[in-house]
Structure 1
Amino acid sequence: MINPQRPWKTLSKVEPTTAEWVDWYNHRRFHGEIGHIPPVKHEANYYTELTKPQVTTTI
């Protein structure tokens, strides 16, 4: 993301572009190793499963 648009004149030009890329990388990019969903969705699913009550049985 950074290299094709250089030279960057100021930090104020780099910051929004970097933030856009990070947003895409975490929220919109489909990741094949985790079921073709965005990483943020995978993380949300993980924490949802952690907080579900556990069912126990006694014999």
Structure 2
Amino acid sequence: MPDNAVAESFMGLFKNETIAAGSPSPTGPLRTIADVEAITMNYVDWYNNHRLHSLLDHTSPEEFEQASYAQHTGSPPGDAATSKTA
């Protein structure tokens, strides 16, 4: 029998954060399936792209990824950056 602790933990977090004050969810009750779909999509976007993550020095995954790409762009190191082809 599989352990559902991770799924249960995430669902508890989802429920608490979508109804808490200042959450990324819309105001008012959820009346239709479209309301539930919208709040779920907004939460998943926030969770994956905008929440601050302690393992990323308290930056969002999106900011961390942008900083990583910025750090790795530019000229190749060494002679390859300055040499001319004949």
TM-score (norm 1): 0.63
RMSD value, Cα: 2.6
Q: Which runs of 5+ in 2 are unaligned?
A: 1-13, 20-29, 80-86
* Unmatched tracts of structure 1, length 5 or more: none
Aligned length: 54
Cα distance between partner residues in 1 of 2:33 and 2:74: 44
Q: Which residue of 1 aligns with 2:61?
A: 39
Give CA-to-partner distance per residue, 1:4-59, whole Å, 9 cap, x none.
88xx77541222111211232111x11011111000000111111221223426xx
Give the percent of matched residue pairs that are identical in Structure 1 and Structure 2. Answer: 33
> For the pair shown, which has the larger CA radius of gyration, 1 or 2?
2
